[in-house]
Amino acid sequence: MTTKPRQQKAAAPRRPISITAVVDCVGALAAGNTRGHVYLYDTNKAGGSAGLGTEQLRTRVTAGDQLLWNVLALECEAFVAIDGIEIDKEVCEPVRKVYPGTDVSYWIGTVKKSGTTEVPYQIRFKLGTRDEPLTTALSPALVG
């Protein structure tokens, strides 16, 4: 009797971790800063992320995780876009992309290395007709 060797199942590709910023544009523009006007969420709560709904989101990541940042305005008529993400380039290098056939942008990057320390980052937002972007007052972070 011969037995067939067991075939290894290919590991399912990991889904990207989506990080969404909900911005109170009217409040941020009136205050001239983002403190208390940015609410961050990610799709990795089950993986250990913490601080959901705050500007100090702690996203649990490991090397190889793909991160996708996007933004929503709290007010339906307000304009908001991510202008940049400032993070240690040795950990992640986010790049701006645009959904095909639209002018809607998002940022994507792959975690290069895991660690046990927090890697803080800041998000710059373009709001309304303001020329200068506003940067997060408090720092969200990637946590290994």
Residue 26 in domain: yes
Residue 96 lies in a domain: yes
Is residue 59 one of the residues assigned to a domain?
A: yes
Flag whether 7 is in a domain: no
Would residue 8 count as lying in a domain?
Answer: no
Q: What is the pLDDT of residues 82-94, one digit of tens each?
A: 999 999 999 999 9
Q: How confident is the model at residue 15 (pLDDT cuts 50, 70, 90)?
A: confident
Q: Where are the beta strands (DSSP E) in the chain?
A: 17-23, 38-42, 58-60, 66-73, 80-86, 95-98, 105-110, 118-120, 122-127, 134-135, 141-143
Rounded to two decimals, what is the model's pTM? Answer: 0.87
Indicate the residue type of 23.
Answer: V
**Residue 35 domain boundaries:** 17-131+138-143
pLDDT band at 95 (very low <50, low <70, confident <90, very high): very high
The number of distinct structural domains making up the chain is 1
In three-state secondary structure terms, 84 is strand
Residue 13's pLDDT band, with cuts at 50, 70 and 90, is low
CATH number at residue 107: 2.60.40.3910
Residue 105 lies in a domain: yes
